[in-house]
Amino acid sequence: MRGWAVVLLVAVTLLGGLSPALAQEPPPPPNPSDDELRNSQQAVQERAGEVGRLTTRLAELDAQADDLAAVLAVEREDAEAALVDLGIAEDAAAQARGRAEDARIETEAATAAIDEARARLDDFVTATYQQGLDTGPLGLLTSSQTPEELVSRAEFTDLLARAQLAAQDGLERARVDKANADSTARALLQEAEDREAEAAAAKVAADEAYAVADAAARAQAEQLAAVQAEREQVQAQLDAAESADSGLREQRARYDEWQRVLAEREAARQRAEREAAQAREAAAGPAPRAGSGSVQRVIDRAMSQIGVQYVWGGGNGRGPSTGIPGPAGDPGNRVGFDCSGLMLYAFNGAGVALPRVSRNQYNSGRKVPLSDLQPGDMVFYKRGGNAIHHVAMYIGDGRMIEAPYTGADVRVVPLRRQNLLPQATRVL
């Protein structure tokens, strides 16, 4: 009995504590007709189909933007390669001009040697004439008073003959040296002129490639603006279609929240990876001899730069640097990395000096198939029949690190398969 009393007391207490509003039963919800339910279902289905079509169009526009970025990357690689060729040609021209100048100096020295040898011979002939020496057999007999004097004069005559022969031989050698120096100087001068012509041609090629890259950048900016305008229109239509049905709005909200959480987790992971790589890099000490560094050190060097902005032509073995000014979207006062510059910095930590341009980096090591891909391998991209335009580093677990394009930062992303070359380059 005592237990039932307790239960009854609790029940009375709870019922007594309820507010009048909660105690009242809520009104019934609206009861739509069969026609209203059917029309509502049809409208939702039509809007769902429109959402699918617009979402597909957004994916197409994103792919079109990626293609435009790849085309621009090819043009920029061409321009940067032409600038490298120009520098090589100008150095060759300067060296050839220096050799030609050295040959000119040797020619002048040979000319001076001829003049000196001719002067010595002239002095010898003049002295012989002024002293009236008769060194012939008759002169020896008529001018000698005694047999001893005859022997002495004969010895002196032999000395004079050797001296005259030496002077003539010196003059002839000087003339030969002069002829050789003239020939060498002409050849080196022609080489210098050829190298300067090549440098001029390389300058023209670099200017043309630079102009093409600039035009491509501007064209890409216009095309991307048009794509972005269409994308905004499509996005507005998509938003309108989604907002017409609360269920679709809830789906999009859940999807947006999922994306946000995923992005935060990825950003946190990349921050942690960057900080860990920076710590390992700081503890590693100076760079080892070429080729003797570890793969992990190369990866750490690259990972330590996560978040550094992309700058066309930026980056070297010491870190981010000022890029190449000019083409639209790449002012020259920014500091960062482009794709190949990031590789220069990463591999410099292992004492490996890579070439500057990505298409040359492709040939800087051993080729390995993608089936044998290992962390530290460089992977390359080309679009259609065009030359290589992008390089990244595989870091394992199906991921790679790259400096992607203007407007983005150094980042870690899943290994992209589209336009990926079937072979990677292994340096270490």
Of 80, 191, 242, 390, the catalytic one is: 390
pLDDT at 401: 98
Output the pLDDT for position 47.
Answer: 60
- Distance of alpha carbon 339 from alpha carbon 334, whole angstroms: 15
DSSP letter string, 187-217:
HHHHHHHHHHHHHHHHHHHHHHHHHHHHHHH
Q: pLDDT band for position 332 (50/70/90)? A: low
**For position 363, what pLDDT does the model report?**
95
Mean per-residue pLDDT for 359-378?
Answer: 96
pLDDT for 3 equals 44
Name, in order, each residue with C-beta under 8 angstroms of 247's C-beta and a sequence gap of 6 or more: 44
Residue 248: phi and psi, rounded to 5, are -70, -35
pLDDT value at residue 164: 63
Question: What is the per-residue pLDDT across 202-218, written as a single tens digit (0 to 9) for each?
Answer: 778 778 877 877 777 77
Q: Which of 198, 273, 339, 389 is catalytic?
A: 339
Instruction: Provide, rounded to the nearest whole percent, the portion of the chain with pLDDT above 90.
Output: 27
Residue whose token pair is 């709870």: 14
Sign of the torsion formed by the C-alpha atoms of 197, 203, 204 and 206: positive
Catalytic status, residue 389: no
The torsion angles phi and psi of 30, rounded to 5 degrees, stand at -60, 145
Q: pLDDT value at position 306?
A: 96
Cβ contacts of residue 422 below 8 Å, gap of 6+? 369, 370
- For the chain, domains (ranges, CATH) are 57-241 (1.10.287), 259-426 (3.90.1720.10)
What does the pLDDT read at residue 33?
60
Measured distance CA(362)–CA(358) in Å, rounded: 6
What pLDDT score was predicted for residue 367?
Answer: 97
* pLDDT tens per residue, range 149-164: 655 656 656 665 676 6
Nearest to residue 362, comparing CAs of 386, 343, 346? 343
Q: What is the pLDDT of residue 288?
A: 60
| Catalytic member of 75, 106, 191, 402 | 402
pLDDT score at 14: 38
Distance of CA 115 to the CA centre of its chain: 56
Burial 202-217 (b: 16+ CB within 10 A, else e): bbebbeebbebbbebb
